[in-house]
A and B are shown apart, each in its own frame.
Chain A
Amino acid sequence: MTAIRLEGVTRSYGAVRAVDDVSLTVNEGEFFTLLGPSGCGKTTLLRMIAGFTDVEHGSIWFGARRIDAVPAHRRNTGMVFQSYAVFPNLTVAGNVAYGLRARKVGRAETGARVARALASVQLGALGERWPHELSGGQLQRVAIARSLVIEPAVLLFDEPLSNLDAQLRTQLRVEIRQLQRQLGLTAVYVTHDQEEALAVSDRIAVMRAGRVEQVGPPEAIYRTPGTAFVAEFMGSTNMLPGRIEAVDGAEIAVRAGGAMFRVQGAAGTVGDPVLLSIRPETMRVLAGDADGRSVTEDGRSVTATLVLREFLGPTLRLHTVLPDGTPLRVAALGGQEIRQGAGGALLLGYDAAQIILYPAS
Chain B
Amino acid sequence: MKGIGGLGAFRACVCLAALLFLGVFLVYPLATVLLASVRDPDTGAWTLAPYRQIAASRYYLGSVGNSLLAGVLSMGFVCVLAVPLAFCLARLEVPGKPVLLTLASLPLVLPSFVGAYALVLLFGHAGIATVAMRDIGLPVGSIYGMPGIVIVFTLTLYPYVLMPVMAGFQAVDIAIEEAARNLGGSRFHVFRTVLLPVVMPSVLAGALLVFIEALENFGVPAVLAEDRPFLALDIFKLFAGESDSNPGAAGALSVLLVACTAGVLVLQRRWLARRRFATGARRVPPPIVLGRGGRIAAGVFCWAVVLLSVLPFAAVLVISFQHFRGPVLNWEITLSNYAALLRGSYRPLWNTLLLASIAAMAVTLLGAPIGYVLARHRSRLSTLLDIVVTVPFAVSGTVLGIGLVIAFNSGWLVLTGGWLILSVAFVVRKLPFSVRSAGAIVHQIDPSLEEASINLGVSPLRTFLTMTVPMMAAGLAGGMVLVWVTVTSELSATIVLYSSRWRTMTVLMFQSLEGTAPGEAAAAASILIVFTALPLLLVYRLLQRQGMGVL
- A residues at B contact (CB < 8 Å): 50-55, 68-74, 76-79, 81-89, 98-99, 102-103, 143, 146-147, 150
Asked if A85 contacts B452 (CB within 8 A), the reply is: yes
**Closest CB in chain B relative to A146 CB, distance in Å:** 7
Tell me which of B5, B7, B456, B460 has the highest count of chain A C-beta atoms within 10 A of its own C-beta: B456
Asked if B471 contacts A99 (CB within 8 A), the reply is: no
Asked if A85 contacts B451 (CB within 8 A), the reply is: yes
Asked if B448 contacts A73 (CB within 8 A), the reply is: no
Measured in the bound complex, the distance between the Cα atoms of B428 and A113 in whole Å is 49
Measured in the bound complex, the distance between the Cα atoms of B460 and A73 in whole Å is 8
Asked if A83 contacts B467 (CB within 8 A), the reply is: no
Asked if B449 contacts A72 (CB within 8 A), the reply is: no
Which B residues, 419 to 447, have Cβ-Cβ distances below 8 Å to chain A? 446
Asked if B456 contacts A98 (CB within 8 A), the reply is: yes
Asked if A73 contacts B458 (CB within 8 A), the reply is: yes
Measured in the bound complex, the distance between the Cα atoms of B454 and A209 in whole Å is 28
Which 7 residue pairs spanning A and B have beta carbons closest together? A99-B456, A71-B6, A71-B5, A85-B448, A102-B457, A85-B452, A81-B448
Closest to B5 in A: A71
Annotate B53-64 by CB proximity to A: 1 below 8 A, 0 otherwise.
Answer: 000000000000
Closest to A156 in B: B455
Residues of B within 8 A of A103 (CB): 457
Asked if A147 contacts B451 (CB within 8 A), the reply is: no
Residues of A within 8 A of B2 (CB): 54, 69
Asked if A73 contacts B454 (CB within 8 A), the reply is: yes
Check B98 for interface membership: any CB of A closer than 8 A: no
**Closest CB in chain A relative to B538 CB, distance in Å:** 22
Asked if A102 contacts B5 (CB within 8 A), the reply is: no
Asked if A69 contacts B3 (CB within 8 A), the reply is: yes
Asked if A98 contacts B453 (CB within 8 A), the reply is: yes
Looking at chain B, what size class is its interface with the partner chain? 20 to 34
Residues of B within 8 A of A55 (CB): 3
Asked if A99 contacts B457 (CB within 8 A), the reply is: yes
Query: Known: A73-B460, A102-B457. Is A52-B4 also a contact (CB below 8 A)?
Result: yes
Q: Which of B3, B451, B453 contacts A54 (CB 8 A)?
A: B3
Measured in the bound complex, the distance between the Cα atoms of B446 and A102 in whole Å is 21
Closest to A69 in B: B3
Residues of B within 8 A of A76 (CB): 457
Q: Which of B1, B446, B455, B470 contacts A73 (CB 8 A)?
A: B455
Asked if B6 contacts A72 (CB within 8 A), the reply is: yes
Residues of A within 8 A of B451 (CB): 50, 52, 72, 79, 81, 85
Q: Which of A71, A84, A147 contacts B459 (CB 8 A)?
A: A71
Asked if A89 contacts B471 (CB within 8 A), the reply is: yes
Residues of B within 8 A of A86 (CB): 452
Closest to B451 in A: A52
Closest to B467 in A: A87
Check B41 for interface membership: any CB of A closer than 8 A: no
Measured in the bound complex, the distance between the Cα atoms of B458 and A72 in whole Å is 9
Measured in the bound complex, the distance between the Cα atoms of B437 and A229 in whole Å is 47
Asked if A72 contacts B456 (CB within 8 A), the reply is: no
Could you show 24 A-B contacts with beta carbons less than 8 Å apart?
Answer: A50-B451, A55-B3, A69-B5, A71-B460, A72-B7, A72-B460, A73-B455, A73-B456, A73-B458, A73-B460, A74-B457, A81-B451, A84-B448, A85-B448, A85-B451, A85-B452, A87-B449, A87-B467, A89-B470, A98-B456, A102-B456, A102-B457, A146-B456, A150-B457
Residues of A within 8 A of B535 (CB): none
Check B418 for interface membership: any CB of A closer than 8 A: no
Measured in the bound complex, the distance between the Cα atoms of B451 and A143 in whole Å is 12
**Closest CB in chain A relative to B383 CB, distance in Å:** 14
| Main SS class of interface, A | loop
Residues of A within 8 A of B460 (CB): 71-73
Which B residues, 1 to 23, have Cβ-Cβ distances below 8 Å to chain A? 1-9
Residues of B within 8 A of A81 (CB): 448, 451-452
Closest to A150 in B: B456
Measured in the bound complex, the distance between the Cα atoms of B7 and A54 in whole Å is 10
Q: Which of A71, A83, A99, A150 contacts B448 (CB 8 A)?
A: A83
**Closest CB in chain B relative to A55 CB, distance in Å:** 5
Asked if A102 contacts B458 (CB within 8 A), the reply is: yes
Measured in the bound complex, the distance between the Cα atoms of B417 and A85 in whole Å is 50
Residues of A within 8 A of B5 (CB): 69-71
**In the complex, given contacts A73-B458, A78-B456, what are 10 additional A-B residue pairs having Cβ atoms less than 8 angstroms apart?**
A70-B5, A72-B7, A73-B6, A73-B456, A83-B448, A85-B446, A87-B453, A88-B449, A99-B456, A146-B456
Query: Known: A51-B4, A69-B2, A69-B5. Is A83-B446 also a contact (CB below 8 A)?
Result: yes
Measured in the bound complex, the distance between the Cα atoms of B452 and A86 in whole Å is 8
Asked if B456 contacts A147 (CB within 8 A), the reply is: yes
Closest to A149 in B: B456
Measured in the bound complex, the distance between the Cα atoms of B432 and A304 in whole Å is 69
Q: Which of B4, B446, B470 contacts A53 (CB 8 A)?
A: B4
Measured in the bound complex, the distance between the Cα atoms of B456 and A132 in whole Å is 21
Residues of B within 8 A of A87 (CB): 449, 452-453, 467
Closest to B7 in A: A72
**Closest CB in chain B relative to A72 CB, distance in Å:** 5
Residues of B within 8 A of A77 (CB): 455
Asked if A79 contacts B458 (CB within 8 A), the reply is: no
Residues of B within 8 A of A85 (CB): 446, 448-449, 451-452
Closest to A103 in B: B457
Asked if B452 contacts A50 (CB within 8 A), the reply is: no
Query: Known: A102-B456, A147-B456. Is A54-B4 also a contact (CB below 8 A)?
Result: yes
Query: Known: A52-B4, A55-B3. Is A143-B471 also a contact (CB below 8 A)?
Result: no
Asked if B452 contacts A72 (CB within 8 A), the reply is: no
Tell me which of B1, B3, B452, B455 has the highest count of chain A C-beta atoms within 10 A of its own C-beta: B455
Closest to B10 in A: A71
Asked if B457 contacts A68 (CB within 8 A), the reply is: no
**Closest CB in chain A relative to B175 CB, distance in Å:** 15
Measured in the bound complex, the distance between the Cα atoms of B456 and A310 in whole Å is 48
Residues of B within 8 A of A70 (CB): 5
Asked if A68 contacts B3 (CB within 8 A), the reply is: yes
Asked if A88 contacts B471 (CB within 8 A), the reply is: yes
Residues of B within 8 A of A72 (CB): 4, 6-7, 451, 454-455, 460
**Closest CB in chain A relative to B202 CB, distance in Å:** 23
Residues of B within 8 A of A71 (CB): 4-7, 9, 459-460
Tell me which of A77, A88, A99, A102 has the highest count of chain B C-beta atoms within 10 A of its own C-beta: A102
Residues of A within 8 A of B459 (CB): 71, 73
Measured in the bound complex, the distance between the Cα atoms of B453 and A72 in whole Å is 10
Asked if A52 contacts B456 (CB within 8 A), the reply is: no
**Closest CB in chain A relative to B460 CB, distance in Å:** 7
Tell me which of B5, B453, B457 has the highest count of chain A C-beta atoms within 10 A of its own C-beta: B457
Query: Known: A70-B5, A71-B7, A88-B471. Is A50-B446 also a contact (CB below 8 A)?
Result: no
**Closest CB in chain B relative to A53 CB, distance in Å:** 7
Residues of A within 8 A of B452 (CB): 79, 81, 85-87, 143, 146
Closest to A102 in B: B457
Measured in the bound complex, the distance between the Cα atoms of B11 and A72 in whole Å is 14
Measured in the bound complex, the distance between the Cα atoms of B6 and A87 in whole Å is 21
Closest to A99 in B: B456
**Closest CB in chain B relative to A4 CB, distance in Å:** 16
Closest to A81 in B: B448
Tell me which of B4, B9, B463, B470 has the highest count of chain A C-beta atoms within 10 A of its own C-beta: B4
Query: Known: A73-B6, A87-B467. Is A50-B449 also a contact (CB below 8 A)?
Result: no
Tell me which of A54, A68, A69, A85 has the highest count of chain B C-beta atoms within 10 A of its own C-beta: A85
